[in-house]
Structure 1
Amino acid sequence: MSNYKIILSGGGTGGHIYPAIAIANELKSRYPDAEFLFVGANDRMEMEKVPQAGYDIKGLWISGIQRQLTLKNLMFPLKLISSLWNARKIIKSFKPDVVVGTGGFASGPLLYVAAANNIPSLIQEQNSFPGITNKLLAKKAHKICVAYDGLERFFPKEKIIKTGNPVRKGLLDIDSKTIEAKNFFKLKHGKYTLLVLGGSLGSKRINQLLEKELDYLDSQNVQIIWQCGKLYYSKYKIYNNTNNVQVYEFLNNMDFAYAAADIIISRAGASSVSELCIVGKPVIFVPSPNVAEDHQTKNAMAIVEKDAAMIIKEEDLDTDFENKFSQLIASPEKQQKLGKKIKNLALVNATNQIADEVEKLLKNK
């Protein structure tokens, strides 16, 4: 049988969407006759990105719980009931053979309903410290694919498979693209290239730092590829093509951006960390403190503790940035050591291994 029906659920950020698409693409290459359906959260970026990748998607009315007492929190029970109801309708109508959850608001209700209907399910846990949804779902899930060691603290040990996080295929061979990438961005030879990534929506704090440090970075012979994000592009685009700075709302050619970079400043979302391990360049992590369970700091520290990256917390940026960056740029040996060590942590076959586990669930059904 090859005309399987597969549901993938995940979203809210690119870190949940792109792994789900990567898994779907791999399964589609193995089972061209299979039918795929994505389930996401209404009004989130998956409703745009998934159809662009060629897949159907249905949205649930769901969002996370805010830390403060807000009207959104008061609406949460209503949204949860609505999402469970609609997830039931989707499961009943589509009749999936397997359900895969990559995290994000919508995956909770969908995997819960799948488990209640005895449909095999797989969770792809991307972070070193799982959120509450996946901890609850783990009891019912058949397999849990993880990217970090030590997650038996949270999940049943017998269900865990360490696979790593799926990444875009174009990143697996960036070393061969350096010259092409530098030409693509029209970069000057003889200058260091700094790539700054704040996630798909952008990071307010990283953008503020960069604006403040433009003269300093120029004095260090640095040219910058600055992905400031959708929310901040209108504010920071004035710096485009000034002082060796290129400002982008979003980078569509991530393989070229990584290939062109000598040093990278990045948030520490799970997908970003996995990509940066494969890329193998020196990284300064600036974790977002505004995420559940402070998981970005935990993701970053899992790399930093192996001497494979540097970290600057948001509250220390103004006091520590110039000092730490100067140390790094002055030492090619340190740059080389960090690049080599982070690359040693890469798990390059994650997408294939996760697809293998989904395949086992399909065949054992």
Structure 2
Amino acid sequence: MSNYKIILSGGGTGGHIYPAIAIANELKMRFPNAEFLFVGAKDRMEMEKVPQAGYNIEGLWISGIQRKLTLKNLSFPFKVVSSVLKAKKIIKQFKPHVAIGTGGFASGPLLYAAASKGIPSLIQEQNSYPGITNKLLSKKAKKICVAYDGLERFFPKDKIIKTGNPVRQGLLNITSKTNEAKKHFGLKENMVTLLVLGGSLGAKRINELIEKKLDFFNTQNVQIIWQCGKLYYQQYKIYGNTKHVQVHQFLNDMASAYAAADVIVSRAGASSVSELCIVGKPVVFIPSPNVAEDHQTKNAMAVVNQHAALIIKEEDLNADFENKFSQLIASKEKQKTLSENIKKLALVNATKDIADEVEKLLNKA
């Protein structure tokens, strides 16, 4: 049987959406007659990105709970009930053979609804420290694909498979494309290229840092590809007229951006970390402190502890950034060591390995 029905949920940020799309693409290659349906959160970026990738998507009325006391939290229980009911309705109509969750607000209601109907489900946990939703869902899930060691602290050990996080397949051979990529971006060959990534929506503190350090970068002979994010583009696009600075709302051709870079400054979301391991360039992580369980710092430290990247916490940027960055730029040896060590952490077959686990569940369905 190859006309399977496969339902997936992942959203809120690119870090949850692109892994779900990567898994769907791999399964579609294996089962060309399979039918796919995504479930996302209404008004979030998955409602745009998933159809662009060629898949149908249904939206749930769901959002995260705010960590501060706000009026929005009053509607949270109603959103959860509404979303679970709608997810059950979607499951009943679509009749999937398997359900896959890669994180994000809609993933919880969908996998809960699937489990309640006896549909085998697979969780793809991207972070080194899982959120509360996946911890709860793990009791019902058949398989849990993880990217880090030590997650038996949170999940049933017999369900865990270490696969890594799915990444865009175009990143696997970027080293040979450096010269082509530099031409693509119109970069100078005698300057160091810094790629700045703050996630798909942007990172306020990283953007403020780059703005403040433009003169410093100039003294360091650094040219910049700066992805400032959707929320901040109007504010920072003026610097795109500056010599040696390019400002982008979003980089659609990430493979070329990575290939062109000599050094990368990035947040430490799970997907970003996995991609950067494959890319194998020197990285300075600036984790977001505003995430559940401070998981970005934990993600970054898993790499830093292997002498494979540098980390600067937001609170230390003013004191430490110029010193650490200039030392990195000045030492080819340091750059080489970081590149070699981060590449050793790459799990390049993640998408295929996750699809293998899904296939096993389908064979039992």
Q: TM-score range by the shorter chain?
A: over 0.9
> SS at the partner of 1:333?
helix
What is residue 198 of structure 1 aligned with on the other side? 198
> SS at the partner of 1:182?
helix
What is residue 33 of structure 1 aligned with on the other side? 33
Question: What is the alpha-carbon distance in structure 2 between the residues aligned to residue 45 and residue 240 of structure 1?
Answer: 25
Q: Is the contact made by 1:228 and 1:236 (CA closer than 8 Å) also made in structure 2? A: yes
Question: What is the alpha-carbon distance in structure 1 between the residues aligned to residue 270 and residue 287 of structure 2?
Answer: 11
Question: What is the alpha-carbon distance in structure 2 between the residues aligned to residue 90 and residue 127 of structure 1?
Answer: 28
What is residue 168 of structure 2 aligned with on the other side? 168
What is residue 177 of structure 1 aligned with on the other side? 177
Question: What is the alpha-carbon distance in structure 2 between the residues aligned to residue 321 and residue 21 of structure 1?
Answer: 35
What is residue 258 of structure 2 aligned with on the other side? 258
Q: CA deviation at 1:242?
A: 1.0
What is residue 88 of structure 1 aligned with on the other side? 88
Question: What is the alpha-carbon distance in structure 1 between the residues aligned to residue 36 and residue 320 of structure 2?
Answer: 48
Q: How does 1:206-225 map to 2 (within 5 A)?
A: 206-225=206-225
What is residue 112 of structure 1 aligned with on the other side? 112
What is residue 322 of structure 2 aligned with on the other side? 322
Q: CA deviation at 1:255?
A: 0.3
Question: What is the alpha-carbon distance in structure 1 between the residues aligned to residue 295 and residue 225 of structure 2?
Answer: 26
Q: Tell me which amino acid in the other structure corresponds to 2:166.
A: P
Question: What is the alpha-carbon distance in structure 2 between the residues aligned to residue 241 and residue 145 of structure 1?
Answer: 44
Q: Tell me which amino acid in the other structure corresponds to 1:181.
A: A
Question: What is the alpha-carbon distance in structure 2 between the residues aligned to residue 148 and residue 330 of structure 1?
Answer: 32
Q: CA deviation at 1:261?
A: 0.3
Q: Is the contact made by 1:198 and 1:227 (CA closer than 8 Å) also made in structure 2? A: yes
Q: Tell me which amino acid in the other structure corresponds to 1:167.
A: V
What is residue 147 of structure 2 aligned with on the other side? 147
What is residue 294 of structure 2 aligned with on the other side? 294
What is residue 338 of structure 2 aligned with on the other side? 338
TM-score after normalising by structure 1: 0.99
Alpha-carbon deviations, 1:255-308, whole Å to 9, x = none?
A: 000000000000000000000000000000000011111110000000001110
Q: CA deviation at 1:111?
A: 0.4
Runs of 4+ that moved beyond 2 A? none
Q: Is the contact made by 1:66 and 1:73 (CA closer than 8 Å) also made in structure 2? A: yes
Q: CA deviation at 1:134?
A: 0.1
Question: What is the alpha-carbon distance in structure 2 between the residues aligned to residue 46 and residue 322 of structure 1?
Answer: 37
Q: CA deviation at 1:72?
A: 1.2
Question: What is the alpha-carbon distance in structure 2 between the residues aligned to residue 10 and residue 258 of structure 1?
Answer: 24
Q: Tell me which amino acid in the other structure corresponds to 1:159.
A: K
Q: Tell me which amino acid in the other structure corresponds to 2:50.
A: V
Q: CA deviation at 1:243?
A: 2.9
Q: Tell me which amino acid in the other structure corresponds to 1:345.
A: L
RMSD between aligned residues: 0.5
What is residue 79 of structure 2 aligned with on the other side? 79
Q: CA deviation at 1:241?
A: 3.4
What is residue 2 of structure 1 aligned with on the other side? 2
> SS at the partner of 1:144?
strand
Q: Is the contact made by 1:218 and 1:243 (CA closer than 8 Å) also made in structure 2? A: no
> SS at the partner of 1:240?
helix
> SS at the partner of 1:363?
helix
Percent of pairs identical after alignment? 78
What is residue 121 of structure 2 aligned with on the other side? 121
> SS at the partner of 2:81?
helix
Matched, 1:133 2:112: no
Q: CA deviation at 1:52?
A: 0.2
What is residue 228 of structure 1 aligned with on the other side? 228
Question: What is the alpha-carbon distance in structure 2 between the residues aligned to residue 124 and residue 22 of structure 1?
Answer: 12
Question: What is the alpha-carbon distance in structure 2 between the residues aligned to residue 130 and residue 93 of structure 1?
Answer: 31
Q: Unpaired segments of 5 or more residues in structure 2? A: none
TM-score after normalising by structure 2: 0.99
Question: What is the alpha-carbon distance in structure 2 between the residues aligned to residue 116 and residue 249 of structure 1?
Answer: 41
Q: Is the contact made by 1:286 and 1:313 (CA closer than 8 Å) also made in structure 2? A: yes
Question: What is the alpha-carbon distance in structure 2 between the residues aligned to residue 238 and residue 84 of structure 1?
Answer: 44
> SS at the partner of 1:38?
strand
What is residue 242 of structure 1 aligned with on the other side? 242
Question: What is the alpha-carbon distance in structure 1 between the residues aligned to residue 138 and residue 231 of structure 2?
Answer: 34
Matched, 1:157 2:157: yes
> SS at the partner of 2:102?
strand
> SS at the partner of 2:213?
helix
Q: Tell me which amino acid in the other structure corresponds to 1:342.
A: I
> SS at the partner of 1:112?
helix
Question: What is the alpha-carbon distance in structure 1 between the residues aligned to residue 327 and residue 25 of structure 2?
Answer: 42
